[in-house]
A and B are shown apart, each in its own frame.
Chain A
Amino acid sequence: MTLKVYCDRMSQPSRAILIFCKMNGIDFEEVHIDILNNQQHTPEYKAINPMSQVPTIVDGDFTLFESHSILIYLSCKYPGVASHWYPSDLIERAKVHSVLDWHHANLRRGSVGVIMNNVLLPLNGLPSNPQAAEEAEKTLVKALTVLETFWLKDGPFLTGRSQPSIADLNLVSEVMELQLLNEKEHDRILSPFKKVLQWVEDTKSATAPYFEEIHGVLYKASKEFRELIAAKSATNE
């Protein structure tokens, strides 16, 4: 039975797993769970993942969620996955674990908060909380600074590596979500971070052509959201 990947290409961790599977020639079935239409809350999906989040994998009898765990599992279970994705050296591996752990409360928290307040709430005609928006941007900018000055200081990829690991896939997918912001905000936030921008490009190149192909849905949504939000604010004025 083929591996099943339950995901939504609008979800950052979902994209990391799809890119990883395609890069490593892993045979899988992509099952779309539409999160903008709340499909993750259906009883059918809750039976697979009671946390109602994407992504989740089902590999035979084995169900697993949390994208970092999924990436580690796939790296270990499937033969032919190149070792740079999840290094076997204890020290290299520990560093990859540490940036994956750091990610949750830093880059992810900041990015999700900024997107929620600057894109998703306005898009749904809901008021955003200025204090929450300010704190989210503060967290995001702090995380980007730490990426720029620490995680990327010794190499093109995270933790000083010369080839990408599962951490690069996961964290770059997170940074890509900021494409949903309007162009001015996106550039204002990201442009000071030259190493981060280069790293995004390096990760794209290392995972071509799949990176761009899987991000197609996000680029399309970004265009649509920008037009919708611009139309809404023109109506308000």
Chain B
Amino acid sequence: MALKVYADRMSQPSRAVLIFCKINGIDFEEIRVDVLKNKQYSPEYKAINPMSRVPAIVDGRFKLFESHAILIYICCAFPGVASHWYPADIFKRSKIQSVLDWHHSNLRSGTVGLVFNTILAPRNGLPSNPQAAKEGEKLLVKSLSKLEGFWLKDGRFLVGSSQPSIADISLVCEIMQLELLSEKDHDRILSPYKKVIQWIEDTKRATAPHFDEVHEFLFKAQKRIREQMATESVKHELKSKL
């Protein structure tokens, strides 16, 4: 029975797991759980993951959620996964674990706070919190500075590695979510961070062609959102002139 990956390509950790499986030639079935349509709350999905979050995997009878735990499990359970993704050396492995842990309350928390409250919530009729968006951006910028000045200081990839690990895929997929912001905001926030920008390119290249393919869905959403925003701003300008 093939591995089942329950995912939504709008979800950063879902994309990380999909890209990882594809780059390592793992035989799996992708099952879409449409988060913007609340499919994660259906009884069928709650039976897979009672937390109602994506991604989740089912491997035979074993169910697992939390993307970092999933990535580590796949590294260890499936043959043919190159060792640089999750090195056996205890020192390297611990460093990778530490950046994965740091991620939750820093880069992820900042990105989610900003993108949810400025883009996803207003565009989907959900309540948004401007204060939370402001705090999200503050935390995001602090996290990007830490990536630039610390996590990427010793090598092309996180924690001084010359080859990517599961941490690079996880964190780069998170930063890609910022593509949902307006072009102006995206560039304003990211452009000071030259190492971060280079690292995103390096990670894309190391996981080509799957990185771009898995991110197509996000870019389609970006196009739709930016077109809507452009139409709204034209309408707003006309209104103020009348």
Contact = CB atoms under 8 A, between A and B. Distances in A.
A101 B91 contact: no
B90 A76 contact: yes
A1 interface: no
Interface of B: 50-51, 62, 64-70, 72-73, 76-77, 90-91, 94-95, 97-98, 101-102, 104-105, 108-109, 146, 149-150
Contact of B102 (A51, A91, A109): A51
B72 A94 contact: yes
Nearest to B67: A101
Contact of B62 (A66, A68, A72, A91): A91
A193 interface: no
12 contacts: A50-B149, A51-B102, A66-B97, A66-B98, A68-B97, A69-B97, A70-B94, A72-B97, A94-B62, A100-B69, A101-B69, A105-B105
Given A94-B72, A105-B109, A146-B51, A69 B98 contact: yes
Given A102-B66, A105-B109, A72 B104 contact: no
A64 B98 contact: yes
A66 B109 CA distance: 16
A68 B69 contact: no
A232 B146 CA distance: 39
Contact of B66 (A93, A101, A150): A101
Nearest to B60: A91
A94 B68 CA distance: 9
Given A98-B65, A98-B66, A64 B95 contact: yes
Interface of A: 50-51, 62, 64-70, 72-73, 76-77, 90-91, 93-95, 97-98, 100-102, 104-105, 108-109, 146, 150
A109 B30 CA distance: 31
Contacts of B149: 50
Nearest to B76: A90
Contacts of B150: 50
Nearest to A76: B90
B64 A95 contact: yes
B76 A66 contact: no
Contacts of A70: 94
Given A64-B94, A66-B98, A97 B68 contact: yes
A69 B62 contact: no
A97 B72 contact: yes
A90 B62 CA distance: 11
Contacts of B70: 94
B72 A66 contact: no
Contact of A150 (B50, B64, B76, B97): B50
Nearest to A65: B98
A104 B104 CA distance: 6
B59 to A, nearest CB: 9
Nearest to B56: A98
Nearest to B149: A50
User: Can you list the 10 inter-chain pairs with the closest CB atoms, starting with the nearest?
Assistant: A104-B104, A97-B69, A66-B101, A101-B66, A69-B97, A98-B69, A69-B98, A66-B98, A98-B66, A94-B73
